[in-house]
Structures are given as C-alpha cells and as structure tokens.
Amino acid sequence: MSDVPVTEAQNRRELLLSTSPHLHSRWTTKQIMWFVVLALLPCVISAVLYFGLYQLLVIATAVLFAVGTEAVIQYLMKKPIAVSDGSAVITGLLLGLIVPPNFSLAFTALGSIFAISVGKMLFGGLGYNIFNPALVGRAFLQAAFPVAITTWTMPQFAVDSISKATPLAALKFDGVSTAMGPLFFGNVGGSLGETSAIAVLLGGVFLLVTGIANWRIPAAMVVGVIVFGGALWLIDSNYPNPIFHLFAGSFLFGAVFMATDYVSSPITGLGMWIYGLGISLILVLIRVFGGLPEGVMYSILFMNAFVPLINRYTRPRIFGEVKS
C-alpha cells in the first residue's frame, strides 16, 4: 500500500523522499533492459544464420509468451502492467536462445509460461526472483521433455566431422574433439544462441564496456574454469583442456548473459567472485565427472540458491564498525 504514492510521484516527477543510500545510476532499469536486448541481437543473428529462419519463430514464440504471461499475471493480480520494462522480453529471448534448434513451438511456449509464472511472478516479480527465470524455464523443459531438448540439429553448413552431437557430448561420449575454428564462429551443434563464441563475445563486450554487466562475475567464471579445468587437465590430459571448456557449450553465453542477471547474483564485489568461482567449479565437475555433457544451467541455478547467503557473509563493514 505504501509504495503506491511513491510510484505516482515518480511518474509525475515530484519530490521523492527515500532512505539512503542515494546512489544514482546513469540509466533506468528500463534502459538497461533494452540494452541487454540489444546485446543479445548478435546471438539471434547467429542462430538464424546457422540454423535457419525457423529459429526466429522459436525465439519470437518464447518472447511473446513470456511477455504475455507476465501481462496476464499482472492483470490478474491487479498490479500495474509493467511489461514495457523489458525484463520479460529478456527472459523470453534468453529462453529462446538456450533451446535446441528446431525446438517445438508448443514446448517453447510452455517453457516461457513456466519461466515467468513460477520462476518470476510467484516470487513477487522483477527484483524478487531467487533463480534466473529463463534457466528455471529451461530446467523445467529439461525435466519434462528430456528427449526433445537434447535432439540437436546440425548447422546448415556443418562440415560433417561430428554428427548429431554437441562438441561437449562428442568429446564426453565418443572421445571426438572439435576444432577451435568452428567453436569460435559457431558452426557446431548446440542450443541456438550458445554456439557462436564471437556473437556472444560481441554482446558481452558491449555489456561490459557500458558497465551494464559487472565484469567480476564473467571474470571469476573464466578464471575458475581455467584453474579448475586446467588442474584436471594437468592431472590427466584425456580430460578436456581449459580452452575447450571456455568455448564449448554454453559457458560463454551463461557467463555473459545468465550469471550476470542483477536479481539472482550477489551484490558485493567479493560475493561476485565467490559466486563466479562456485559456478565454474560445479560446472567443471559436472562436465568432467557428471552424467550430463553440459552443466552451465545447473551450476548457475545451484549458485543462485546461495546468493542470499553470499550477500549476507560478504556484507561490507559499516565505516567505523567494531568487529564484535
């Protein structure tokens, strides 16, 4: 009840009273969200380029149902319809980019509905969700339709050295390694947005330069994967080498777009390092020893659950506070 007049005051640009800290950002939430959408565009382009125009339909379905679900729920709960803030668009886009090529539109829609309703709105909407909504949707799809979500269609102009498997699965189950070139440009099997390292990096650089994504989380994840993956590789060179870890699968996509989600990542600098290193440790363990070829989704979701704890323990001391 009490926040209603504040919102109205904001809209009318009146004098606004609030508690400290009175920090100002260059951008509003809305602007940040649309910048992220912009940063995701290279991935959308690479998805269409490699897997065909149908993928545009998949991504559009994901976005449409994410935005629609949010609007419907906000209407039903008699809350202001806030889909124009773009957060639902991002969730939809992200979900659309982490499903396999030629994924069923019905499943995509279901994933979006689940992501927004259970992953986001049930927790209280934007800013309150513990887990990254897009990953919640993807995890639901993985549990509900395990076969469909691991059916990989190869890129249109794939040089057929590895057929019907992602680079990680090919290495894990068949012992076939993938060359760096295709991994970098994206001419390999995988989820829509994750295959092209260069497209992800393009978006990532944009987010880091504008300061929208904090550099610490991706940095911690890269350092973590090099250290943990490298240690295992040094012990036994049959394990994937750290560079392969970095470029194969959805590591980069997860590091740039998923782990840096404001709501579900820590707010302190030290916390971000702990969070990023934790993700990469679990990721390397799943990839090397786990039953699944890829573990970015589960490792991020797992560390999401620790974020409140991390925030609590890395809380900076108040100036002049005496350690008790």
Partner 1 sequence: MKKQVTLFTEFTKGLWDQNPVFKQVLGMCPTLAVTVSAMNGIAMALATTFVLTFSSLIISLIRKLIPTQVRIASYIVIIATFVTIVDLVMRAQFPELSKELGPYIPLIVVNCLILGRQEAFASKNTPIRAVLDALGMGAGFLIALASLGAIREILGSRTLLGVQILPDAFEPWLVMILPAGAFLTLGLMMGFLNFMVLRKKTREEQELLSRHLQEPKMSLAKGQEA
Cβ distance 277 to 257 under 8 Å? no
Q: Is 145 in the site for partner 1 (CB under 8 A)?
A: yes
- To partner 1, the closest distance from the beta carbon of 73 in angstroms equals 12
Q: Which one, 74 or 241, has the nearer CB to partner 1?
A: 74
Q: Report 88-117 residues binding partner 1 (CB under 8 A).
A: 104, 106-107
Q: Is 23 in the site for partner 1 (CB under 8 A)?
A: no
Contacts 24+ apart (CB under 8 A), 66-74: 66/91, 66/92, 66/95, 66/112, 66/113, 66/115, 66/116, 67/92, 69/112, 69/113, 69/116, 69/117, 69/121, 70/116, 70/120, 70/121, 73/116, 73/117, 73/121, 74/121, 74/125
Q: Is 122 in the site for partner 1 (CB under 8 A)?
A: yes
- To partner 1, the closest distance from the beta carbon of 108 in angstroms equals 13
Distance CA 98, CA 302 (A): 18
DSSP-derived secondary structure for 64-86? HHHHHHHHHHHHHTT----GGGS
Distance CA 29, CA 33 (A): 6
Residue from 144, 159, 205, 309 touching partner 1 (CB under 8 A): that is 144
Q: Is 65 in the site for partner 1 (CB under 8 A)?
A: no
Q: Which one, 46 or 104, has the nearer CB to partner 1?
A: 104
Residue from 80, 146, 175, 316 touching partner 1 (CB under 8 A): that is 146
Interface with partner 1: number of residues (CB under 8 A): 11
- To partner 1, the closest distance from the beta carbon of 143 in angstroms equals 4
- To partner 1, the closest distance from the beta carbon of 123 in angstroms equals 12
- To partner 1, the closest distance from the beta carbon of 112 in angstroms equals 15
Q: Hey, how many other C-beta atoms are within 10 angstroms of the C-beta on 307?
A: 19
Residue from 71, 148, 270, 292 touching partner 1 (CB under 8 A): that is 148
Residue from 57, 60, 118, 158 touching partner 1 (CB under 8 A): that is 118
Which residues contact partner 1 by CB under 8 A? 104, 106-107, 118, 122, 140, 143-146, 148
